[in-house]
Amino acid sequence: MHPGSPDTAARLATWLAAHLERHRLTVADVARDLRVSPGQVRGWLAAAGLRAPTGPGEFDHLDTPVKLGAWLRARIADAGVSVRELAESTPDVSMSTVYNWLNGEHLPPPPAADEPDRLDLLLSNPVLGLGLQQRVQLDEIRRRLTGTSLHLDAAPEWDARSLPAANRAFTGRRPALRRLDRLLADYGRGAAVLAIVTGIGGVGKTALAVQWARSAQVRPTFPDGCLHLDLQGYSATSPVDPATARLRLLYQLGADPHRPPADPEAQAALYQRMLAGRRLLLVLDNARDEAQVRPLLPADPGCLTLVTSRARLSGLDVTSPGLTRLDLDALTEAEAAALLRELLGRLAAGPATDEEVRALADRCGRLPLALQIAAANYLTHHHPQREPLAAYTAELAADRLGELTIDPADPATAVTPTLDHSLRHLSAPAQRAYRLLGLHRAPDFAEAWAASVTAEPRDRTRAALSELVQANLLTLDQRGRYAFHDLLRDHAAALAARTDGEQERRAAVGRGLDHWRHSGFAATMVVEPSRDPITLDPAGPGAAPERFDDFDTAWQWIEDEIEGVVAASAQATETGFDPYVWQLVWICGNPLGQRGQWNRLVELGELALQAGLRTGDSEAVARAHRYLAHPAILTERLPEARTHLQTALELHRADGDARGRAAVLHSLSYIEERLGNYAAALAHSEEALAVDRERGFRGGQARALNEVGWLLAHLDRVDEALAPCLEAHAIFEELGDRGKAAHVADSLGYLRHRLGDHAGALADFGRAADEFRALDRPFELAGTLDRIGDVHLDATGPDAAAAVWQEALDLYTDLGHGNAEEVRAKLHGLDRPDPADRRDAC
């Protein structure tokens, strides 16, 4: 058989249709995997007389002419044609007529005589790729909307009349669907009777529940059908009370609506009796709380209940042991991009690159509701040929919540009211905490910081945070840290702007920044006790900074909070807290440099410089130049670093700031050393030592002594070098500065190697390497490993040296540092340059 024959195409199309059904795939899933449009997949199926698997009621959600028009508009866009092209290729249908239908106007009833049925002619156009059964269903929708249906009382094949129609654009969620599918096996063993799907508003809980309830796997399991009830827990109207909800379910079960039992207990008994013996799926959608759900749970194990809610409904874990819980998060990057392409259609999304589609999806927070609104806005108000997708994404970035709106009063078409409804049932303290915490940009945060922002005691803050977590407005990870979804943070900040006065908002921002400044200073001085301290003004009223008694707690605080401090540095520049910027950078600068994140140091240094120039604070400006010199030195941009340091030195001298002058001298010594000017470097270090001795700063003295010993060794005065290094090590040990003591141990290892004491060198280097590993300082560790390799080459042999150098090379490569080439040359047997220094640059 010829591979290109029609018979082969038909067989492939038949296999494709079965593949879609068997693996729970949509046309969009297959189209994405094959990198073609959904319309192309439908065309393959239609050419063989097949279509994508659909179920009865596929179009039941099109219950108004406007919804039918919106669906038709999306179908046309998906086909990749314009309205003009579609009208011109459809007999007896004009472009203006099609536009009327798209706007929900002048929907024609079925023709009474021999006149052409223009709507069916349009739906029959092969470009739209609709199968016969789909056209029949759409004709029945049209008849219902025009009052001409011949089957108003016809019952569907599966008794699920209250269940909404599946979303045509539903995409992804395969892990969640598989998780729900496993419920069926548990249900068959009598082990599953209740499942809860929770998540923030707009994340697609209802869409997932409906998609699964209408799947081919569910129907045979529940031959008695499906009941669905919207409990309106988070809608514009009041939540449905349990008694009313039970009555509505009774009517769905066939109870006489004219003769309901008057007594609530009798109603409850009738409800359970009518459920008894049935194999039925009950979908309780949009539940507010446990009290609303519990009276509706079937007692008969033949029924399975699926609940969706924005609240976690944790109380059901106590009263319904063994329940299955599914916490729905935002779509993955791939799922969100696929949904956007499906919603936009080939005409709009075709010219866009994958990166542009992903950027728009990210700007929407990858929430299905936000994606649908953004796609609808783009298709309605923009044109791909006049405004590319990237331009629309930029507009969205300027005002996400404002742009993610079609009808501001309709939660189904606007993000803001959807999220507003999530707050309706929260306590006043929880609502206030939500608003004020949203003013900050911290990627995650701890309870202690939240207490400062809200200016509340820890116990009250803990209660408010717990309430927000239960409402899925915050997430809580295993480390005990809280986080916002991006859109929720935007919503909280916008709500604060509408609710709280400017003074209250500024105070909340200031308290958060104060917490990071003062807590970060305290943690830094415990982790780096030999560091030159800075002077902070007192924290504002209500802020409660943390204090630290031991190294491990302080070090962990820095690990947990550094990203928050970085975000705070940028926020301080934008909210009028310029004097705070250089202080926040002081806290996070060394940890970022030790991890090799030098580009971020440049960004922070620029922020500090601009803030200092705005305030006219010479100390802030000088420190900002030092911050910018640090990454320039570490990445071998030495002339640039020298310029920054000379500017800083002039400012410090003008201010009479001996502390700043000594810090610059240390860095200038480093530059001269890297250039091989060891005598000039030694002069800078000795001057810094004199300044620090005069002002009695022992941490600076120890740093200078270590530099002096290191540089003497490079001037071949090794015998003189040991004493200053030993003195430096003793001071750092006394001060309890583990990191600086490790630096001196590294220097001692180098000196002992020069003196021929290989065992002593390996011991000192080993102590330094162990400490750098424990402190997670890859740059310093790589330098020490490089020097250990030198010792092994002289004492043990090339194999041992190669193993250590390879580890150093891997670290330098990951950091993107130029020292990688030096180590690579050693591995290739080339001449070895002088070992690279590893001292702090500022």
Q: Tens digit of pLDDT for each residue in 744-781?
A: 999 999 999 999 999 999 999 999 999 999 998 999 99
SS3 408: coil
* Mean pLDDT across 375-382: 74
Q: Which value, to the nearest 10 degrees, does the dihedral of the CA atoms of residues 96, 100, 102, 105 take?
A: 180
CB atoms within 10 A of CB 362: 15
Highest mean pLDDT among 182-186, 236-240, 302-306, 518-522: 518-522
Residue 454's φ and ψ, nearest 5 degrees, are -85, -10
Residue whose structure tokens are 């068997």: 22
Which residue from 566, 544, 533 is spatially nearest to 447, judged by alpha carbons?
544
User: 58-61 long-range CB contacts below 8 Å, 24 or more apart?
Assistant: 58/134, 58/137, 58/165, 58/166, 58/168, 59/134, 59/137, 59/138, 59/141, 59/165, 60/141, 60/164, 60/165, 61/164, 61/165, 61/167
Phi-psi label, residue 840: left if phi above 0, alpha if psi -120 to 50, beta otherwise:
beta
Q: Tell me what pLDDT residue 37 has.
A: 64
DSSP code at position 414: B
Q: Which two tokens stand for residue 649?
A: 């030195």
CA distance 470 to 427: 12
N-term to C-term CA, the chain: 76
User: 81-85 long-range CB contacts below 8 Å, 24 or more apart?
Assistant: 81/127, 81/347, 82/347
* Proportion of the chain in helix, strand, coil states, percent, rounded to 5: 65, 5, 35
The whole-chain average pLDDT of the chain stands at 85
CB atoms within 10 A of CB 387: 13
Greater model confidence, 39 or 637: 637
121-125, 381-385, 634-638, 680-684: least confidently modelled range = 381-385
Q: Contact at 8 Å (CB) between 597 and 635?
A: no
Q: What is the pLDDT of residues 46-67, one digit of tens each?
A: 665 555 555 455 676 676 777 7
Strand 482-483 relative to strand 324-327, pairing = unpaired
Helix 486-499 with 502-527: angle, nearest 10 deg:
130
Q: Tell me what pLDDT residue 571 has.
A: 94
Q: What is the pLDDT of residues 772-805, one digit of tens each?
A: 999 989 999 999 999 999 999 998 888 899 999 9
**pLDDT class for 74, splitting at 50, 70, 90?**
confident
Single-letter code of the amino acid located at 617: D
Q: Which two tokens stand for residue 519?
A: 């807590």
Distance of CA 707 to the CA centre of its chain: 44
User: Is the per-residue pLDDT at 407 higher than 60?
Assistant: no
Q: What is the pLDDT of residues 136-165, one digit of tens each?
A: 888 888 877 776 665 544 434 567 768 887
Q: Which two tokens stand for residue 523?
A: 């943690």
Single-letter code of the amino acid located at 153: D
Q: What is the pLDDT of residues 624-651, one digit of tens each?
A: 999 999 999 988 899 999 999 999 999 9
Q: Residue 191: CB partners within 8 Å, gap ≥ 6?
A: 322
Q: Tell me what pLDDT residue 85 has.
A: 86
Q: If you compute the radius of gyration of the chain from its CA atoms, what whole number of angstroms results?
A: 34
Q: Contact at 8 Å (CB) between 308 and 287?
A: yes
* Mean pLDDT across 487-514: 93
Q: Residue 397: CB partners within 8 Å, gap ≥ 6?
A: 363
Q: Which two tokens stand for residue 445?
A: 């945060």
Q: Which two tokens stand for residue 168?
A: 């045509």
Q: Contact at 8 Å (CB) between 565 and 520?
A: yes
User: Is the per-residue pLDDT at 831 higher than 70?
Assistant: no
Q: Beta partners for 405?
A: 414
- What is the enclosing helix (H) or strand (E) of 516? helix 502-527
**pLDDT class for 552, splitting at 50, 70, 90?**
very high
* Mean pLDDT across 7-35: 69
Beta strands per DSSP E along 535-673: none
78-82, 263-267, 581-585, 767-771: least confidently modelled range = 78-82
* Mean pLDDT across 665-684: 94
Helices (H), 331-427: 333-349, 354-363, 368-381, 389-398, 400-403, 415-420
DSSP code at position 445: B
Which residue from 207, 313, 60 is spatially nearest to 296, judged by alpha carbons?
313
Q: What is the 3-class SS of 260-325, one letter each residue?
A: CCCCHHHHHHHHHHHHCCCCEEEEEEEECCHHHHHHHCCCCCCEEEEEEECCCCCCHHHHCCCCEE
CA distance 110 to 503: 64
Q: Tell me what pLDDT residue 743 has.
A: 94
CB atoms within 10 A of CB 74: 20
Q: Tell me what pLDDT residue 147 has.
A: 64
CB atoms within 10 A of CB 291: 11
**pLDDT class for 840, splitting at 50, 70, 90?**
very low
**pLDDT class for 830, splitting at 50, 70, 90?**
very low
DSSP code at position 152: T
Q: Write out the DSSP string of 569-601.
A: HHHHHHTT-HHHHHHHHHHHHHHHHHTT-HHHH
Helix 368-381 with 65-79: angle, nearest 10 deg:
80
* Mean pLDDT across 669-683: 94
pTM: 0.71
CA distance 405 to 409: 9
Q: Which value, to the nearest 10 degrees, does the dihedral of the CA atoms of residues 285, 288, 294, 299 take?
A: 0
* Mean pLDDT across 445-460: 96
User: 267 vs 273, 279, 283, 781, CA distance in Å?
Assistant: 10, 21, 20, 73
CA distance 542 to 87: 67
Which residue from 337, 349, 379 is spatially nearest to 171, judged by alpha carbons?
337
User: Is the per-residue pLDDT at 337 higher than 90?
Assistant: no
Q: Tell me what pLDDT residue 519 has.
A: 97
User: 679 vs 52, 121, 555, 641, 675, CA distance in Å?
Assistant: 79, 91, 37, 19, 11
